[in-house]
Each structure stands twice: as structure tokens, then as C-alpha cells.
Amino acid sequence: MSRGKASIALAVIAASSVLAAGYAVAFESLFESERDNGRNSGRERGGSVQSCSLAGVNPALHPEIFGSRAVAKSYGFVQSRDGAWHVQSKCLRGRSIPN
């Protein structure tokens, strides 16, 4: 095999190795979040819950807060009879004022 063909073959093998490694990392992180079952306090979910704001929050993804009415209330949230979460009236960002 000529020197040029050997260089091309080596470049193809190197590129394939890089692509395979990237695929393996992406595949592993996909299943890592599956195994986690939401117990990572927001690292994998890409978000956090701020007091007095439900903007962009899915309560199902934050069981550490919405799994307990007392904890949710400390963030300024109340649950209605139909199960929907709402921000307490008189809630100030950073602290909750009881009704």
C-alpha cells in the first residue's frame, strides 16, 4: 500500500474512533438520566424552582418540592382541589407570606 493510501486509511480510522466515542458518551448520558429517576436535584433536568414563580416549572419533575404540601408552601405554592398548583396570594419573591 502506498504512503498516501495508508495516510487516508489512518485518517478514516481516527475519525471513526472520534465519532464512536462521542456516540458512546451521548448514549451513556441518555441512560444515566433514565437510571436517575429524578433524584438529582435539578442537575440533569436543567432547571430549578424559584419561590413565588411557577413559570416553566413542571411539578412532576420536582417531587422533592411538590411531593410535600409543607415544602411547596414554603416556596409559596398551594394546591387547589383539582390538583393544580398555584402561587399563593401575597407571595413575595424570596419569601412567602401566609394567607
Contacts of 80 (CB under 8 A, 6+ apart): 86
In whole angstroms, give the CA distance from residue 88 to residue 36: 31
In whole angstroms, give the CA distance from residue 17 to residue 55: 43
CB half-sphere exposure, 50, CA atoms < 13 A: 7
pLDDT at 40 over 60: no
Which of the residue ranges 11-20, 35-44, 49-58 has the most confident prediction, judged by mean pLDDT? Answer: 49-58
pTM over the 0.95 mark? no
In whole angstroms, give the CA distance from residue 15 to residue 26: 17
Predicted confidence at residue 99, as pLDDT, reads 43
Predicted confidence at residue 46, as pLDDT, reads 52
Alpha helices (H) in the chain, listed in sequence order: 3-36, 63-66, 69-74
